[in-house]
Amino acid sequence: MYGDLKILTGTANPQLALDICDHLGCALTPALCETFSDGELRVEIGASVRGHDVFVIQPTCAPTNKNLMQLCLMLDALKRASAGRITAVIPYYGYARQDRKVSPRAPISAKMVADFLSMAGAQRIVTVDLHAGQIQGFFNCPVDNLFASPVLLEYVRHLRGDLVMVSPDAGGVERTRAFAKKMDAGLAIIDKRRDRPNQATAMNVIGDVAGKVAVLVDDMIDTAGTICAAAEVLLQNGASEVRACATHAVLSGPACQRLTDSPFNEIVVTDTIPLGEHAGLCDKLRVASVAGILAKSIRNIHDGSSVSALFG
């Protein structure tokens, strides 16, 4: 058995960590996270963690490299402070889209990041909606890949009208099918051709969307080019209105402007990534919290009970 449950956070998403602590009924363990004038990071754990069961909440969202390095330094500090077990809770796993070689001399960055985290001291990983499920195999320690679908489905259940769940590309069909099955709704797929990274052209719709409320389901919204083009095509094919739900609000580049100009009635995302300055740039965005899901998972891991049983 490990010692007391301890929750720490870096600077990537402290509000999510506080919300998780509220669900668990505990306080954050203090940790100093600063940046020196030359850009180097400084980390120091502010209380004893010897023998304790420690969970570090830190998504590796933008600025990705800083947040990743901060997480690794925290893990190393905990390892050197003789923590009983160290679990990295990474609600958004950066570099997940670089999960295979796409050219002869390219790295597999998602695997390299996994090695970083393991070498730094992570003995277990908890994450939410990995872009590619096989990334779990990049680690030599247990990985709990949780799903945000319970909180996103709560939003979908309140929608009125004849619903159809829509995948914006072929890669997301399995995720969208699961939504459709739980909602007893139809399923449609956007046939998409990608010309170059972060740019996509939606060509046509496979499935019946005419006269229906189309809900696009995706794991993340980055530049929003794909999902906005998909919304236009759905309306052209007769959808009565279009909505969207996605786990990770990356929202880089022109994303907020595109979403504002898009025909979406509403876009629901989770708080795996803090909206920050994006919160006031698009009034169509709504945020659902995954703090409850993460808190239950942390509690079950600490108690030694099943995590998957929470979402059966």
Catalytic residue numbers read 192
Pick the closest to residue 247 from 60, 58, 68, 91 (CA basis): 91
The C-alpha atoms of residue 112 and residue 167 are separated, in whole angstroms, by 30
Q: Is 92 in contact with 59 (CB distance < 8 Å)?
A: yes
Q: Is 209 in contact with 161 (CB distance < 8 Å)?
A: no
Distances (CA, A) of 306 to 57, 65, 130, 277, 301: 20, 33, 20, 37, 7
- Displacement of CA 156 from its chain's centroid (Å): 18
SS3 46: coil
Residue type at position 181 = K
The C-alpha atoms of residue 163 and residue 216 are separated, in whole angstroms, by 11
Residue type at position 186 = G
